Amino acid sequence: MHQSTDPQPIAAADAPWSLRMAASALARYTLSQGQWDYRDGLLFNGILRVWERTRDESLWKSLTSYVNHHVDPSGRIDKHSSEEFNLDHVNPGKLLFPLYRATGRERYRRAIWALRDQLRQQPRTSEGGFWHKKVYPFQMWLDGIYMAAPFYAEFASTFNEPAAYADVAFQVISIERHTRDPRSGLLYHAWDESRQQRWAHPETGCSPHFWSRGMGWFSMALVDVLDHFPEDTVERRELVAILARAADAVARVQDGGTGLWWQVLDQGERPGNYREASGTCMFVYAIAKAVRRGYLDESWSAVASRGFEGTLDHLVTVDGRGGIDLHQTCASAGLGGDPYRDGSYEYYVSERTADNDLHGVGAFILAAVEMESVAVSASPRPRSRDGTHGPVAAK
C-alpha cells in the first residue's frame, strides 16, 4: 500500500494464490486515492480473509490503515452521508466488525451504528425491500443484497438484535421472488416496483438481462449472510434453498471450454459477449464456500475448481517481479442514471473492461482463499510469465 511505510513486497512464487494477489494488489493500492467505497471494501474484505488464514501482520496493518484513513477517532466516516441512502456505502462497514472485536474502540462501534442507522431509515418498496439508492427510487438491485445484507446480519449477531434476522432474510427472499426467471433459474439484474424505468419490463418490472457480476454479488451475499444467521430457523432453511437454486442455475451456464462465466450469463458466444473475471471469481467463491460450510455437497467442488483453473489459465498473468495481474473485468455496469443505462445486451457488452480492477481483484482473493480452504485443485503453477493475456483476454 502506497503510504508512509514501504510498499508491500510481491509474494514468493510458491506462496498461495490468495497471498500473491493480496500482496500485488496492496503494492498497487494508494491509500490517499482510496475511497470509502464498495470496491475498496471488497478488496479489503479479501485482505481480511487472507489475514485470517496467514496471520500476516502486514495485512492486518494495511486493513487497519484503510479503515482508520476513512473513520476518524470520533467514529465519523469520511465523506459518508447517510441521507444519500446508498447501500454501496454500507459494504466497507463489514471491515469495522473485526477491528471492533480486536480493539473494543469506540470509533469502530460508532461507525457501525451509523451504518445501522442508515439501514433503519433506508427507503423501501411497498413490501419492505431496500431501495438500492435514494436516487434510484422503488428499485432493488442484486448488488445491494451483497452491500447490505451480510453487514446487517453481522450487526444482528454482534449487537444482539434478533428481530433483524427476519428483515435480512426478507431482503434476499424478496429480490429472488421478483427477479428469478422460472425457466433458467437465473436472476435479472434489478427490479423496479414502479415499472417507470425504461429498462423495466412493463409487467414484471425486471431489467432485461442476467448480468454475471449482479448474480455474483447475490451468490456471495448468500454464503456470507449464512455465517451470521441463527441455526434451526425457517428463514435459514429458505436461504440455503435459495443458494442451492442459484448455484444450480449458475452451473448450467458455465462455459464448458474454459470453466469461466460470460458477461451476459445466458448468451454464450453471442457476438460481443466475453468471459468476465469478477463474476467468475464470485461464483467460485460462493460455490467453494458453500461446499466448505456444507450447504452444497462435495460434488460441487468440481464446478468451483473448473472456474478457478479457468481464471488462472485465461485471465491471470505474472510479471517479471512475480506480481499477479487479473484481466478482463467489467469496470462498471448499472441501470438508469445520466447518461442513461438501458440494461440492453449491447449495453452490458460495451462497458469497458479493465486490468486489475478492484471488482475482480477482490473477488479473486476471496475465491482463492476458499479454494485453498477446501483444497480443490488450486494449482500453484504460475501462468503466462511473458505477461501476455490468455486466449480469451481480448474481445
Query: According to the model, what pLDDT value does residue 11 have?
Result: 77
Distance CA 257, CA 269 (A): 11
Grid coordinates representing 9 are: 513486497
Contact call for residues 323 and 13 (beta carbons, < 8 A):
no
Catalytic pick from 14, 37, 56, 143?
A: 143
Query: According to the model, what pLDDT value does residue 78 have?
Result: 92
Tens place of pLDDT for every residue, the chain, 395 residues? Answer: 544 344 445 778 889 999 999 999 999 999 989 999 999 999 999 999 999 999 999 999 999 999 999 999 999 999 888 889 999 999 999 999 999 999 999 999 999 999 999 999 999 999 999 999 999 999 999 999 999 999 999 999 999 999 999 999 999 999 999 999 999 999 999 999 999 999 999 999 999 999 999 999 999 999 999 999 999 899 999 999 999 999 999 999 999 999 999 999 999 989 999 999 999 999 999 999 999 999 999 999 999 999 999 999 999 999 988 999 999 999 999 999 999 999 999 999 999 999 999 999 999 999 999 999 976 444 444 444 333 333 232 22
Grid coordinates representing 223 are: 454464503
pTM of the model: 0.93
Q: Is 143 an active-site residue?
A: yes
- Residue 31 class from Cβ within 10 Å (0-12 exposed, 13-18 middle, 19+ buried)? middle
Query: According to the model, what pLDDT value does residue 375 have?
Result: 61
Grid coordinates representing 369 are: 482463499
Distance CA 256, CA 66 (A): 39
Query: According to the model, what pLDDT value does residue 383 have?
Result: 43
Kindly list the structural domains of the chain, giving each domain's residue range(s) and its CATH number in brackets, ordered by start: 17-374 (1.50.10.10)
CA nearest neighbour of 212 among 247, 161, 171, 263: 263
Distances (CA, A) of 11 to 17, 170, 325, 373: 9, 42, 13, 19
Within 8 A by CB and 6+ apart from 120, the residues are none
